[in-house]
């Protein structure tokens, strides 16, 4: 709906081995990055991937594509997305590619692109790159021959470098031996390395969904299915639970009662752990209004960006904010990485819980999220949002919600739908309001709700 044909909220994503997630598009991506001056012949690029079966195909396709452009390629293998961001700097790579569809089912895949600083591309860079990738005139350009053809190398120490950066940040000093922890690894990138690291720290670790086979990533597990973690915490009588998504850039926690701790509450905990010293935190339009009011009561402003952790990262780079995140569990700690890191964020929460002597249930009770309701409306023309009937109904709902609620209408970055989101401190009519607005949009355009 944004007018983009390739790039969405977080890179390029779709069904693996179907347009645009094909080997042919990998070649266009490599050539496009060169044409956009993101990189040039002789540069060094790193490529990581998650546990999807299609990762092999796309990893080799990208390696071949970059080599054909005279680019040297470092293959990281299966690594978390934040590792690619961090290793761009540590390995002096001009760019980094993460092959992943994040929390999507195994049949999907995609690419996330990082620059030399470990930041995702801006909207302007993506628009320029997409224009070139879709221009057939570039398909036969930038051919490299002879000794200038690029080569690949396996970066065997990539995971070690990433884990060492985390080790440098935490020291629990034998305070963890009595803490049982349940991990839901989503059959993804953290399946082996997270349990190993956390046992190294002394935690009593119980792992679930830690046997990736290429097709079970995110399947009824992980951060998008926190109820699975909640059941595990109760079953194993654990004090904490961590649920990651398939590529490791987001995390949700569960307290000792099995109650989910989402990204908003993680932000509140981390803000408290820093004694609210940062005057500004960053989240997206989707963060609950209750978080904003809680932070304001402690003198902290909540800045809001468009949906997507890359927008949070961009804002943080231009401000004094050191902490940002999304309700879905993308948490960015500026001093560590410029993208979400589920493992690092979880350890920051645990560090504060242990040092403060508080149970996670106490930390999960800093504020009470307002009630919310969401609905999608399929659309063929985004101009429907400017129809006078839609505007009138929108204003009516916002008036009814007053200053204790919100209505958000936004176009999806991945689907041709308008997403309706309502929240309120005290309204019991959110579903009716959403249905009324959806019906108005349908009547204007003849759309179908989902």
Residue 395 burial class via C-beta count within 10 angstroms: exposed 0-12, middle 13-18, buried 19 and up: exposed
Query: Which of 11-25, 358-372, 378-392 shows the lowest mean pLDDT across its residues?
Result: 378-392
pLDDT category at 346 given cuts 50, 70, 90 is: very high
pLDDT category at 144 given cuts 50, 70, 90 is: confident
pLDDT of residue 90: 96
pLDDT of residue 1: 40
Selected residue with higher pLDDT from 301 and 445:
301
- 102 included as an active-site residue: yes
pLDDT of residue 142: 59
E strand or H helix at 390: helix 388-401
Please tell me the CATH code under which domain 169-363 is placed.
3.40.120.10
Sign (positive/negative) of CA torsion 350, 353, 359, 365?
Answer: negative
Cα atoms in the 13 Å half-sphere on the side-chain side of 163:
16
Domain ranges of the chain: 7-161, 169-363, 371-445
pLDDT category at 6 given cuts 50, 70, 90 is: very high
Asked, as a colleague might, if the bond just before 426 is cis with ω within 30 of 0, I would say: no
pLDDT category at 347 given cuts 50, 70, 90 is: very high
pLDDT digits (tens, 9 = 90+) for 10-53: 899 999 999 999 999 999 999 999 999 999 999 999 999 999 99
Please tell me the CATH code under which domain 371-445 is placed.
3.30.310.50
Selected residue with higher pLDDT from 443 and 362:
362
pLDDT of residue 86: 97
d(CA 34, CA 27): 11
Domains 7-161 and 169-363 share a fold: yes
Give the pairing type, strands 72-78 and 11-15. unpaired
| Maximum C-alpha span of the chain | 70
- Per cent of the chain over pLDDT 90 is 84
- Per cent of the chain over pLDDT 70 is 96
Catalytic residue of the set 100, 102, 372, 427: 102
Residues facing 75 on adjacent strands: 47, 154
CA 19 to centroid of chain Cα atoms: 23
The mean pLDDT of the chain is 93
Res. 110: pLDDT tops 90 = yes
pLDDT of residue 41: 92
Average pLDDT over residues 188-192: 97
d(CA 94, CA 329): 28
C-alpha triplet 294, 368, 298: angle, nearest 5°:
15
Res. 210: pLDDT tops 90 = yes
**Residue in 236, 228, 226 with CA at minimum distance from that of residue 261:** 226
d(CA 357, CA 359): 7
Confidence (pTM): 0.92
Give rounded-to-5 percent helix, strand, coil for the chain: 35, 20, 40
- Domain range 7-161, CATH architecture: 3-Layer(aba) Sandwich (3.40)
pLDDT of residue 178: 80
Res. 136: pLDDT tops 80 = no
d(CA 248, CA 11): 16
pLDDT of residue 446: 63
Res. 383: pLDDT tops 90 = no
d(CA 189, CA 264): 24
pLDDT of residue 384: 87
pLDDT of residue 176: 72
């Amino acid at each position: 709906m944004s007018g983009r044909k390739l790039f969405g909220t977080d890179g390029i994503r779709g069904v693996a081995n179907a347009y645009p997630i094909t080997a042919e598009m990998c070649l266009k991506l490599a050539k496009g990055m060169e044409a956009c001056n993101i990189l040039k012949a002789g540069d060094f690029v790193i490529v990581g991937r998650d546990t999807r079966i299609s990762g092999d195909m796309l990893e080799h396709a990208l390696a071949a594509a970059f080599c054909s452009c005279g680019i040297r390629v470092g293959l990281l293998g299966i690594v978390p997305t934040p590792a690619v961001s961090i290793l761009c700097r540590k390995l002096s790579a001009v760019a980094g590619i993460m092959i992943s569809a994040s929390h999507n089912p195994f049949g999907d895949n995609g690419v996330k692109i990082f620059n030399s600083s470990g930041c995702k591309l801006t909207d302007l860079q993506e628009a320029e790159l997409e224009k070139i990738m879709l221009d057939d005139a570039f398909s036969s350009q930038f051919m490299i021959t002879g000794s200038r053809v690029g080569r690949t190398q396996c970066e065997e120490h990539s995971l070690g470098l990433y884990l060492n950066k985390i080790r440098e940040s935490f020291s629990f000093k034998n305070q963890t031996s009595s803490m049982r922890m349940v991990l839901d690894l989503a059959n993804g990138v953290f399946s082996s390395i997270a349990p190993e690291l956390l046992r190294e720290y002394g935690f009593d670790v119980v792992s679930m969904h830690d046997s990736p086979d290429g097709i079970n990533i995110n399947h009824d597990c992980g951060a998008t299915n926190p109820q699975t973690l909640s059941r595990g915490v109760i079953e194993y009588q654990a004090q904490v639970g961590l649920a990651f998504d398939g590529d490791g850039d987001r995390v949700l926690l569960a307290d000792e009662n099995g109650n989910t701790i989402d990204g908003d509450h993680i932000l509140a905990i981390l803000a408290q752990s820093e004694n609210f010293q940062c005057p500004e935190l960053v989240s997206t339009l989707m963060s609950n209004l209750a978080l904003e009011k809680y932070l304001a009561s402690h003198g902290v402003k909540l800045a809001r960006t468009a949906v997507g952790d890359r927008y949070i990262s961009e804002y943080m780079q231009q401000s004094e904010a050191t902490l940002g995140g999304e309700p879905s569990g993308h948490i960015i700690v500026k001093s560590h990485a410029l993208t979400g890191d589920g493992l690092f964020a979880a350890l920051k929460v645990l560090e504060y819980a242990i040092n403060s002597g508080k149970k996670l249930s106490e930390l999960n009770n800093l504020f009470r999220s307002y009630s919310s309701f969401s609905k999608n409306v399929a659309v063929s023309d985004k101009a429907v949002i400017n129809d006078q009937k839609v505007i009138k109904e929108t204003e009516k709902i916002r008036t009814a919600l007053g200053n204790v609620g919100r209505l958000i209408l936004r176009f999806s970055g991945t689907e041709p739908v308008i997403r309706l989101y309502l929240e309120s401190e005290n309204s019991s009519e959110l579903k009716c309001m959403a249905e009324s607005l959806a019906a108005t949009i349908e009547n204007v355009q003849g759309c179908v709700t989902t």
